[in-house]
Structure 1
Amino acid sequence: MSSPPAPGFNADRAIELARQTLQIEAQALLALKDRQGEPLAQAVGLILACTGRVVVMGMGKSGHVGRKMAATLASTGTPAMFVHPAEASHGDLGMVTPADVVIAISNSGESDELTAILPLLKRLGVRLIGMTGRATSTLARHSDVMLDTSVAQEACPLNLAPTASTTAQIALGDALAVALLDARGFREEDFARSHPGGALGRKLLTHVRDVMRQGEAVPRVRSDTGFSAMMREMSAKGLGATAVVDAEDRVVGIFTDGDLRRQIEQGRDLRGLSAGDLMTRHPRTVRADALAVEAADLMEEARITSVLVVDEAQRLVGALNTNDLMRAKVI
């Protein structure tokens, strides 16, 4: 049960202010888009030529934006970190080397903690990209490249709290990251390597060999194995299927729980039959070096729940089913 609204709360005004905020910030981004040109290309060029790291700095709300920007750059192929300007004045400036590029963020361009270290950065020989809303500010004057993040107004009704200005900073940081990842030829596989714990990382980095059952855990019988012995093998291994192999362990067929159900539905007497009589010949198989997501796609396409893993000579090396893929969080 929801709590009653606070005294004096006006729902219509809240909705109107929310819509107004989104409208102001959307207009700020459109204006920002139209102002991008050669300076942005210069900033991208500076970062691409950087042999060190990108060091992002900012105070207050711009600092929060800077942390997000550094994280986005780092995850898309540009080594980056955030350094707090106030801490930089007390030793953390030692993290910055002449090989680095600094991105300094300040809407006013006059944040005391930031402007205090700008001469030191220039003395180090660090290339400086300034993101500011004031082209005549101290930050703009010290910058090798100045990116204009000015906005016509903040979304705050008092025109005080950083709202539209921080939205512009975040968006421009994303624009830089996208331009850089494209210039570097950054691919899905590269993204996955920096996100191994995420869903995309699991899909692009997990191979069949990482999740398949191996050795004695893989059910297998010969073609002449009787029905009862085959069922014992299937029950013991819990795959929901068994491979049927020849004397060299090459896969010649598969028998699954679904095959058993269909045979029973037909009223067939299975007791005197062998695996060779009942198996499905030429089953779908995958290689151990295939991506696990490829095995999942194959199983979905063929509407099967188990697949055998073979080597280049079609010898059985493993098996997996949908439960194995779900445990690995591939599906």
Structure 2
Amino acid sequence: MKPEQLQASGRRTLEIERDAFAGLLERVDAHFAEACTLMLGCHGRVVVTGMGKSGHIGGKIAATLASTGTPAFFVHPGEASHGDLGMITPQDVVIAISYSGETAEVLTILPLIKRMATPLIAMTGKPASTLARIADVHLDVSVAKEACPLNLAPTASTTATLAMGDALAVALLEARGFTSEDFALSHPGGSLGRRLLLRIQDLMHTGDRLPRVAPGTPLTAALLEMTQKGLGMTAIVDADDRVVGVYTDGDLRRSLEDQIDLRSATIDQVMTRGGKNARPDWLAAEAVQLMEKHKITALLVTDDQLHLQGVIHMHDLLRAGVV
């Protein structure tokens, strides 16, 4: 095939799947709301099952539900009839996925699900199928045709099913008042979790690692403190440990440009008064935002009365994966 033919095939596939999406809109109806109500009232878990490609889609739907506030997991229907059905309880809600609605492995476990009186939501492309008729709620995910030119390989139909699953997950998320902080709690290992969960106090330098000098300190002594602590700056604090200023590598370059006598100067003469500071309980991501806004690489961390609590450096944020 020529490049233009390959491109045309790809575009045709996307057009067919776009049309499948459009057809779903009118099916987000009372049945959809009923399915959401069943899951919101569930005291156990949402158990998703499906065979073949429907099973792969079911695994994704279960994962999306679980990460957005609806406890869920996937059970393979073939394994379910050989012992894994014990994972399902009357307190659960089952979502069974089968485009034909006649998948043998799924139908085999239906009598036991109904015997336990576990609510059953079906997602099929055949409203008159066995699965659709037995279910408590049926969600129609039918498509006019598959993107496959043979109209055989599940393509548009699996895309439509996945989209319906996303619609359920988002509707439940909003109904539960699920927040970005809640999302981060289930993603602690990802960059999103790090951005949303890490606080400045988790990363800042404290105690003896803090570079600090008193007003009136000779500039040479302040530079020695900066070198020993290795953060490229030092805080200047009064007798009550309140921040009165900051001196950084950038200030040192400006001192050299202004031809300040480094041997005779005191830190008071060259420091930046006040300086930018943050609070320990701020999100680490807020420290990044402040540093980027003011083009600085370190922040003093203080309490509300400006008592020095710590220092956080851009390198700390990089190592933690916040940046």
Superposition TM-score tier, normalisation by shorter sequence? over 0.9
One-letter identity of the residue aligned with 2:6: A
Distance in 1 of aligned mates of 2:77 and 2:91? 19
Instruction: State the Cα distance separating 1:110 from its structure 2 match.
Output: 0.5
Instruction: State the Cα distance separating 1:13 from its structure 2 match.
Output: 3.0
Distance in 2 of aligned mates of 1:213 and 1:155? 57
After alignment, is 321-330 or 71-80 more displaced?
A: 321-330
Q: Match of 1:135, SS?
A: coil
One-letter identity of the residue aligned with 2:126: R
Q: TM-score, normalised by structure 1?
A: 0.95
One-letter identity of the residue aligned with 1:122: K
Q: Could you tell me which residue of structure 1 aligns to residue 67 of structure 2?
A: 75
Q: Match of 2:235, SS?
A: strand
Q: Does 1:36 pair with 2:28?
A: yes
Q: List aligned pairs for 1:130-279, cutoff 5 A.
A: 130-279=122-271
Instruction: State the Cα distance separating 1:312 from its structure 2 match.
Output: 3.4
| 1:289-313 superposed Cα distances (whole Å, 9 cap, x missing partner) | 1111111112222222211111233
Q: Match of 1:81, SS?
A: strand
What is the root-mean-square deviation of aligned Cα atoms in Å?
1.1
Q: Does 1:107 pair with 2:117?
A: no
Q: TM-score, normalised by structure 2?
A: 0.97
Distance in 1 of aligned mates of 2:103 and 2:130? 9
Q: Does 1:293 pair with 2:281?
A: no
Q: Match of 1:233, SS?
A: helix
After alignment, is 188-197 or 140-149 more displaced?
A: 188-197
Q: Could you tell me which residue of structure 2 aligns to residue 129 of structure 1?
A: 121
Q: Match of 2:43, SS?
A: coil
Distance in 2 of aligned mates of 1:158 and 1:13? 17
Q: Match of 2:285, SS?
A: helix
Instruction: State the Cα distance separating 1:194 from its structure 2 match.
Output: 1.1
Instruction: State the Cα distance separating 1:283 from its structure 2 match.
Output: 1.6
Q: Match of 1:244, SS?
A: strand
One-letter identity of the residue aligned with 2:294: A
Distance in 2 of aligned mates of 1:29 and 1:270? 70
Instruction: State the Cα distance separating 1:147 from its structure 2 match.
Output: 0.2
| 1:131-171 superposed Cα distances (whole Å, 9 cap, x missing partner) | 00111111011100000011111111111111111011001
| 1:7-54 superposed Cα distances (whole Å, 9 cap, x missing partner) | xx4433322222211111111110111222110000011100111110
Q: Could you tell me which residue of structure 2 aligns to residue 325 of structure 1?
A: 317
How many correspondences in the alignment? 323
Q: Match of 2:139, SS?
A: strand
Q: Does 1:97 pair with 2:89?
A: yes
Distance in 1 of aligned mates of 2:6 and 2:219? 72
Show structure 1 runs of 5+ residues with no match. 1-8
Instruction: State the Cα distance separating 1:231 from its structure 2 match.
Output: 0.7
